[in-house]
Amino acid sequence: MNLDAMLEDLEELVTCESFSTDHQAVARSAEVVARQGGARLGAPPETVLIGGVTHLRWSFGTPRVLLVGHHDTVWPMGSLRARPWEVAGGIARGPGVFDMKAGLVQMFHALAALPSLDGVCVLVTGDEELGSPTSRELVEEAARGRAAAFVLEASADGGALKTARKGISTYELVVHGRAAHAGLDPEKGINAGIELAHQILAVAAIADQVNDARPNPGGANDGPPGAGGAGTGRVETGGASVTPTVVAGGTTRNTVPATARLTVDVRVPTLAAQKRVDELIRALSPRLDGARLEVLGGPNRPPLEHASSAGLFALAQRIAAELGLGPVTGAGVGGASDGNLTAGVGCPTLDGLGAVGGGAHADTEHVVVAEMPRRAALLAGLIRASLA
């Protein structure tokens, strides 16, 4: 792999800003990605425009292996002025360099190194950072029935591959009470704020109910880094988290609040945990006479469980050893990606194959440039083996 050529491509991508909510910027970025990918793959992509968002897809023959990435970033337009592209001391910096434009460069160079692309599908979406609202069906459709999905999201700490991701559910709990004058006759009201206070405590206790019921034979699912078992190189994700976040309610200082709302963020390691949390949230009951609860939302992304990545992770370890790339480690993480969607439709999925570095979504975002050819070589080996 030619590092100088990779850095040239990376500079072009990073200096074309692509803030997720700016559809024109995303469209300009898609043109750059299409040009780079077309040059490396020898064919132009299909441009898929959904809801004003530009996605790109390449298909060669009958797809058996799917590669997934995104070209949108969280960085508002103009971020380059404060965080310009630079390479110094072996580190590349710039908005979106780690999450995940370096991953796209590595992907295209890995594919260019293969003797044939027959059986490969490449999908580069433009709204992953928003939760893939327009591209979810594209990702799921592309993943169904495939032998493997490789996700070019950035690596975990220390370059670890992402062998598990927690699933996400989001809820809004609406409390309906009854308004009354707070000074003249507060007893005639049903205070939605007080009811919500009870519900916040009940919601916060759900995670313990779910986690206490988890199977934990010999501590195999918990513990410090490396606790996934001898030789796995795997760090576990931990249990479910159920977090009350945004609280709102009431209208005026002297009115008993008639409504109040609570937003809840849920992260779960397994489908079973996701289902159990959903059951417990929907089973919440009011504490005050006359109050009523309304539950909105539900599961958003299924978890990427270790079982989905285990075979591909073992393959990655073997290929890395054969190529002399050193040991490969894996980690479970709390954040979600399109890898959750590919795993959710039953496709074996390995995530975190993109850049090695850190600082995603932060001022410290960076890529270790020496690792780019190495990760591209690993990806090429994985694709070749998966198509054999």
Distance of alpha carbon 115 from alpha carbon 244, whole angstroms: 52
Same-domain check for residues 269 and 179: yes
Distance of alpha carbon 106 from alpha carbon 339, whole angstroms: 18
Query: How many C-beta neighbours within 10 Å does residue 184 have?
Result: 9
Give the residue-averaged pLDDT of 260-277: 96
Same-domain check for residues 159 and 34: yes
Distance of alpha carbon 368 from alpha carbon 89, whole angstroms: 9
**H or E element, residue 334:** none
CATH of the domain at 56: 3.40.630.10
Same-domain check for residues 148 and 192: no
CATH of the domain at 185: 3.30.70.360
Stronger pLDDT, 221 or 329, i.e. the higher one: 329
Amino acid 238: pLDDT: 77
Task: Provide the β-strand partners of residue 122.
Answer: 58, 67
CB-based contact 331:227 (threshold 8 Å): no
Give the residue-averaged pLDDT of 91-109: 98
Same-domain check for residues 150 and 193: no
Same-domain check for residues 195 and 278: yes
Give the residue-averaged pLDDT of 106-112: 98
The residue from 267, 296, 325 where one domain ends is 296
How distant, in Å, are the alpha carbons of 97, 141, 281 from that of 154? 10, 23, 33
How distant, in Å, are the alpha carbons of 180, 182, 207, 256 from that of 252? 11, 10, 34, 8
Rg (CA), the chain: 23
181-238 tens-digit pLDDT: 999 999 999 999 999 999 999 999 999 999 987 665 433 333 333 333 334 444 455 7
Amino acid 223: pLDDT: 33
pLDDT band at 95 (very low <50, low <70, confident <90, very high): very high
Same-domain check for residues 43 and 74: yes
Distance of alpha carbon 358 from alpha carbon 225, whole angstroms: 18
Same-domain check for residues 35 and 153: yes
284-307 tens-digit pLDDT: 999 999 999 999 999 999 999 999
Backbone angles phi, psi at 129, to 5 degrees: -65, -15
Of 183, 365, 198, 211, the C-alpha closest to 274 is 211
The two tokens of residue 227 are: 């606790």
The CA angle 310-316-320, to the nearest 5 degrees, is: 150
Same-domain check for residues 142 and 182: no
Please give the tally of structural domains in the chain: 2
Task: Provide the β-strand partners of residue 167.
Answer: 268
SS3 string, 11-71, reads HHHHCCCCECCCHHHHHHHHHHHHHHHHHHHCCCCEEEEECCEEEEEEECCCCCEEEEEEC
Q: Range of 64's domain? A: 3-166+303-387
Amino acid 212: pLDDT: 86
Same-domain check for residues 240 and 162: no
Strands 91-93 and 86-88: antiparallel
Of 348, 338, 384, 347, the C-alpha closest to 71 is 338
Mean pLDDT of the chain: 93
Amino acid 221: pLDDT: 36
The residue from 249, 266, 296 where one domain ends is 296
CB-based contact 317:333 (threshold 8 Å): no
Same-domain check for residues 30 and 161: yes
Share of the chain above pLDDT 70, in %: 94
Distance of alpha carbon 142 from alpha carbon 151, whole angstroms: 13
What are the strands of the beta sheet with 366-368, ordered from one edge?
Answer: 86-88, 91-93, 366-368, 357-358
Q: Please check the confidence at residue 369 and state whether its pLDDT lies above 80.
A: yes
Amino acid 227: pLDDT: 33
- Report the predicted TM-score, pTM, of the whole model to 2 decimal places: 0.88
Amino acid 213: pLDDT: 76
The residue from 259, 276, 296 where one domain ends is 296
Same-domain check for residues 112 and 245: no
121-171 tens-digit pLDDT: 999 999 999 999 999 999 999 999 999 999 999 999 999 999 999 999 999
Specify the range with the lowest mean pLDDT, choosing from 42-56, 177-191, 227-241, 333-347.
227-241
Is residue 372 reached through a cis peptide bond, with omega within 30 degrees of 0 on the bond before it?
no
Specify the range with the lowest mean pLDDT, choosing from 6-10, 47-51, 331-335.
331-335
Same-domain check for residues 230 and 338: no
